[in-house]
Structure 1
């Protein structure tokens, strides 16, 4: 019987084990206990050897797993006694004359060393190495990714800005803390326009959470700015009317559909798309990385870019407010449910998004989602827009359809831009608001900082603008919106006088002129007031109301100075004396002229000789007053021997609006009937005085709405009152004319 001898040191010689012979029948098999000297074979430790001999092939094998796997085979010629038994001496075996049968196993199939397996789903080539392990060689290379079925596509190069977070081309994310403008990407080429893509961040409902507001495309060669914002796109100052049919403006291709606005930048015969949906901007430069660098999106040609670009190095000061880095603080919002929002954000790691997770890392998007919704109210469709950003990135670089995610997340069935047709000013943002009927609608609301400075409690609108005899008052529409007030329901005292909305500034302006719109004209102390009120018709049912009561008074006034006598006595050589009365917002001119005739056509000049006891006529007229609202009342006129209206000698011509009864030559005409009047008297001089004579007149303004402004000069009633009560309390304006003997 043929036997062979096996030394236990076959594979453990290096371990220093003693040689112990085991004898087996030729062509047979056996088991050797090596627990006293275990063998480590390709990372596994074994205590048992399974030995078998094939007399026909002249090979025998030593295995560690029941003659099936992890085996070593040896050529028979190395046995020491072929005729009788095998005495295997490991030290005498040439390394290059035996081979390893261990191999690799892949999906249950055994492969020998250096065998390869192509994996279509992952686009990889699996190679069995000498350690018995398959190594993965990604056949698409480092600049591509696998779409499945062995198809390789260029690696995703997408930069996403959503809410307060920037996710650069390589998946690095960072949160923006300030309300400033930052460069995202600079694109430069020799044959196409150089373009900077800039993101502008502003506050919305909270002062301490800046969110993406709008996007600027700075065409540096042409000096043109393309602005992508909620509700509209502008090129320079021109608003563009866009559709899904692309239009080219200054080399930039612009289009708009239900999902948002796309601007494509020319680049070496290709177009780099910049997409904006009102909440998120995404820049896809897949395959076009030359000369595109800088900015918060990072350098697309350098995947090792880390950490993210510092915001301070890419701040665009030209398009940032001076105080954009001023810290803003608010108390935490106790209504925010961060745990619930985190669960919703983590939908990105659940079906159907898991199909995309192998292509696009969801972690930066989840971080962006939780960063916003744990610190900011979960309205304005923010959650859905954030999830949509990830889905859009995935669909741009794979065939994954992600069916059903919108229903799972409670979002609209189709991707939709937020506020696609609602334009808001720089002090506003488009947001969701429940109207008085309980319906949620998108409207322009005040940004938090602007709202704090223009609230009902602080300053409802802007100061009244007064000009001549007109007045106007403006209100920000967003303040009205936030107080559930429809500006079309507001009106002045006259219901027909409503506000006008400026489509560019969104200011609602109410105005009146003189006594129009049922303006109330009154007097108070030294002021002539033109007053009106903005109000709203009540909509309550007698029990409850859901509207704030609105009553906003605004007015313009004219104030009469206490003494406007000329500092220098203007003598008769100047037949006309004028005073400009300027007070508050009102300006009007008071003029005193002297004439020789009652028709006031022959003006007295410096060459006119006036005789004592000669009748002269003096006219007091105004310019700049509304004769439908006010009248001029000459309250008193008197003469003094010096420039001061309270000179040592005084002679009265008019008192209490009527001719002084002590001088029978005085006659007053048209007093209180309009904005001018006149009177006559016979010329005189002070007895035994050769100095100048000064004529002073004191006038008052009378509001016509308060009643009749014509003084009652009936002798029978003079003791009681000569002027009507509505002008008695007004401070006078004083004018003086001087002449010499």
Structure 2
């Protein structure tokens, strides 16, 4: 760190002096030979501080952004100056005394000495006894700022001739006030009055201020600025005595780590709230209203709309408050009596923690997106510094552009200059000038901005914002919402499978951003198109297991139903401007998982609920004492040996037009394990045990349920014990409402499959034959 240079002229014993030397680093200079009275306080030391963009000449220490310095701020990107202290140039001092008194009627003393700073900007401070004058000579777009306690008292634009500004003035409650002027203290609403002779006084006042919220930046009534870093709702302005709050909600756009003011709400303790939304839309009490250029009154609020935005005018205890919102910038102008105090970001932009309203802490979550390497900081400076050039410079003396420039730079250094963002800050400044009675003429032409700006005529949904898509203004996806899909390279959600139907939902704004017109999309069957929800802008496709060109295949005993979203293609079209789209999605019925659920026959039945992706079906095994299957065997049923019973294997939730259930085998064991011994087979390879004449199989493979019967028995040579009945089942695909049944029922060849190719399961429908493999097991038990 460079140590500051210290020049001690008085120590050299000089009485008259003309001292000159260059300064290229932060420097402290003893100026006791030429003391300067600056807003009521005499200083004999100056501190010269370079920041890379500005030079600060301060009287009470080196300048820091958070300090309360008494300083002159001037542009200086070269970080150098040529300093002169002069007490003996009497010809100049006499001449300047005449010029100053001719220009400023509050100056009565003669010039005694001066401090001068030259190259790249030229200015000086002239000591005139108990008074002092800033002496300024630069091009009109170059501005010097006079600061007292860090607050800008005056911005002095350059001129082709010498410009003088009285810097003696008054210091009242920490504020600098120029002689012959009045300022307002926003903290306690009093007028700060400095007479022509620098005598200070105070009186009650009316506070007149402008608060600008543009992008993430809040420039409060005092000209102080801060930024909102999250996506919460904040109080901009609150008057508890009037039961009124002005609220702003912030949301992200293309990046997750930069927030923008997205809506404004006028909240009344009595009466309906009024919301100013994107697209110049307005809700009163939650219901939309149609506005025009003529003022319409709702709940005592005058609402009007033009091409630039919506204006709401209200009266708080007889004093006017005006709120303007265009979808990107909210500006509030107040003229309120002394008896009313305000809270919120517009009163103090640093009060973000106390002004935050959202109870859901998720809005405070911070994100960090990768830096945008397309952003050129030098270009950003040029884009934002236009506020110092014509035609904006005509307003610089009335509205300090510095806060707007900083807000512009801070945002554009992180966020690309798209969606009219650069022009947003220029428009906010021009609007502030208009409120201060200093209209900037034809600025949009000079700045190459649209006038008025394009807006989305149709309502954007909550997860969208109005921006540029391939040269057109349309609804884009907000970054946090879109990241759920883009991080997985998807355009929508997962397939939803339910009750033999499937649906796929695509995100409309993602389709637009990828150049896809949803009107050109359909399923395998061209007649099956998506349905766009007019509110959410979500595109939904539906198909069932046997519609819209659904393909049915098998894979490892799974039955898979597949469809795809594709681009409509017409052979008659000579050209196309649509990218080809192929989005495949599917649902499946896996074979029931292996179960080993045993129960006594007196417990009625067992039901196993199985899940296939998101399609659900159930499999049950029940026992009856009659062929009509009306007498369900229950807890009080008596079953005798050799009594015939009927076992029904039934599914629920399968489409019998597409799939069938085959009972592959059933057998009995004396232990609960299906593999225990002894074992007695009732059904083998889908057919009844030919050696047991009591076994009959009904409807096997013909639908989603089947049954069989046999005569009750017990194992010989053992003490009476439970007999466990086990059955294995499989799902198979039908074609043309017919299914090749096992060979025992007259269809040959049995137990074969023709639905496989050399590389795996076929992608299109084929004739399928029954095969064994990966079956499911269900069991029941009875006690003889």
Q: TM-score, normalised by structure 2?
A: 0.66
Bigger mean CA deviation after superposition, 256-265 or 336-345:
336-345
- The CA deviation string for residues 420-450 of structure 1, in whole angstroms up to 9 with x for no partner, is 534334433211111xxxxx22122223343
The equivalent residue for 2:343 is: 294
Residue from 278, 281, 285 that aligns with 1:232? 281
The equivalent residue for 1:622 is: 651
- Contact 2:309–2:324 (CA under 8 A) maintained in structure 1: yes
Residue from 657, 661, 676 that aligns with 1:647? 676
Taking structure 1 as reference, are residues 378 and 231 closer, same or farther at Cα in structure 2, changes over 3 Å only? Answer: same
The equivalent residue for 2:541 is: 510
Partners of 1:167 and 1:289 in 2: CA distance = 22
Partners of 2:569 and 2:752 in 1: CA distance = 45
The equivalent residue for 1:734 is: 777
Partners of 1:250 and 1:209 in 2: CA distance = 34
The answer to whether the aligner puts 1:410 opposite 2:448 as a matched pair is: yes
Q: Please list, as runs of the form range in 1=range in 2, the aligned pairs for 1:135-534 lying within 5 A after superposition.
A: 157-189=209-241, 192=242, 194-220=243-269, 226=275, 228-230=277-279, 232-234=281-283, 238-244=287-293, 246=295, 251-286=300-335, 290-298=339-347, 309-318=349-358, 321-322=361-362, 324=364, 326-334=366-374, 336-398=375-437, 400-412=438-450, 414-416=451-453, 418-419=454-455, 421-434=457-470, 440-455=471-486, 457-525=488-556, 527-534=558-565
Bigger mean CA deviation after superposition, 624-633 or 363-372:
363-372
Offset, 1:195: 2.6
Q: Please list, as runs of the form range in 1=range in 2, the aligned pairs for 1:589-628 lying within 5 A after superposition.
A: 589-604=618-633, 612-628=641-657
Q: Please list, as runs of the form range in 1=range in 2, the aligned pairs for 1:579-728 lying within 5 A after superposition.
A: 579-582=608-611, 584-604=613-633, 612-689=641-718, 690-704=720-734, 708-713=738-743, 721=751, 725=768, 727-728=770-771
- Contact 2:256–2:479 (CA under 8 A) maintained in structure 1: yes
Offset, 1:409: 1.9
* Number of aligned residue pairs: 588
Q: Please list, as runs of the form range in 1=range in 2, the aligned pairs for 1:61-140 lying within 5 A after superposition.
A: none
- Contact 1:277–1:420 (CA under 8 A) maintained in structure 2: no
Taking structure 1 as reference, are residues 709 and 376 closer, same or farther at Cα in structure 2, changes over 3 Å only? Answer: same
Offset, 1:484: 1.1
Partners of 2:724 and 2:653 in 1: CA distance = 26
Offset, 1:542: 11
Higher radius of gyration, 1 or 2: 1
Which secondary structure does the structure 1 equivalent of 2:548 belong to?
Answer: helix
Which secondary structure does the structure 1 equivalent of 2:422 belong to?
Answer: helix
Taking structure 1 as reference, are residues 454 and 581 closer, same or farther at Cα in structure 2, changes over 3 Å only? Answer: closer
Partners of 1:574 and 1:329 in 2: CA distance = 61
- Contact 1:633–1:709 (CA under 8 A) maintained in structure 2: no
Offset, 1:312: 4.1
- Contact 1:696–1:736 (CA under 8 A) maintained in structure 2: yes
Partners of 1:633 and 1:393 in 2: CA distance = 79
Partners of 2:457 and 2:247 in 1: CA distance = 22
Partners of 1:45 and 1:431 in 2: CA distance = 59
- Contact 1:180–1:325 (CA under 8 A) maintained in structure 2: no
- The CA deviation string for residues 438-463 of structure 1, in whole angstroms up to 9 with x for no partner, is xx221222233433332174444323
Offset, 1:45: 8.9
Which secondary structure does the structure 2 equivalent of 1:202 belong to?
Answer: strand
Partners of 1:621 and 1:144 in 2: CA distance = 91
Task: Could you tell me which runs of 5 or more consecutive residues in structure 1 were left unpaired when the two chains were aligned.
Answer: 1-37, 47-128, 130-135, 146-152, 299-307, 435-439
Partners of 1:313 and 1:522 in 2: CA distance = 59
- Contact 2:248–2:264 (CA under 8 A) maintained in structure 1: yes
Partners of 1:397 and 1:562 in 2: CA distance = 76
Partners of 2:773 and 2:577 in 1: CA distance = 43
Offset, 1:696: 2.3
Partners of 1:264 and 1:327 in 2: CA distance = 37
Offset, 1:169: 1.6
- Contact 1:207–1:330 (CA under 8 A) maintained in structure 2: no
Q: Please list, as runs of the form range in 1=range in 2, the aligned pairs for 1:39-58 lying within 5 A after superposition.
A: 44=94
The equivalent residue for 1:126 is: none
Partners of 1:692 and 1:534 in 2: CA distance = 55
CA RMSD of aligned residues (A): 4.1
Taking structure 1 as reference, are residues 274 and 682 closer, same or farther at Cα in structure 2, changes over 3 Å only? Answer: same
Offset, 1:586: 3.4
Offset, 1:292: 4.6
- The CA deviation string for residues 485-533 of structure 1, in whole angstroms up to 9 with x for no partner, is 1223222222232333334433322233333323333333353333322
Bigger mean CA deviation after superposition, 610-619 or 647-656:
610-619
- Contact 1:658–1:711 (CA under 8 A) maintained in structure 2: no
Partners of 2:416 and 2:635 in 1: CA distance = 80
The equivalent residue for 1:91 is: none
Which secondary structure does the structure 1 equivalent of 2:362 belong to?
Answer: coil
Offset, 1:717: 6.7
Offset, 1:466: 2.8
Partners of 1:169 and 1:605 in 2: CA distance = 82
Partners of 1:449 and 1:582 in 2: CA distance = 32
The equivalent residue for 1:566 is: 597
Taking structure 1 as reference, are residues 705 and 277 closer, same or farther at Cα in structure 2, changes over 3 Å only? Answer: farther
Taking structure 1 as reference, are residues 363 and 141 closer, same or farther at Cα in structure 2, changes over 3 Å only? Answer: closer
- Contact 2:311–2:322 (CA under 8 A) maintained in structure 1: yes
Task: Could you tell me which runs of 5 or more consecutive residues in structure 2 were left unpaired when the two chains were aligned.
Answer: 1-87, 97-165, 167-177, 185-190, 194-204, 755-767
Taking structure 1 as reference, are residues 620 and 168 closer, same or farther at Cα in structure 2, changes over 3 Å only? Answer: same
- Contact 2:262–2:277 (CA under 8 A) maintained in structure 1: no
Partners of 1:332 and 1:366 in 2: CA distance = 20
Offset, 1:677: 1.7
Partners of 1:696 and 1:528 in 2: CA distance = 24
Which secondary structure does the structure 2 equivalent of 1:157 belong to?
Answer: strand
Q: TM-score, normalised by structure 1?
A: 0.69
Taking structure 1 as reference, are residues 686 and 225 closer, same or farther at Cα in structure 2, changes over 3 Å only? Answer: farther
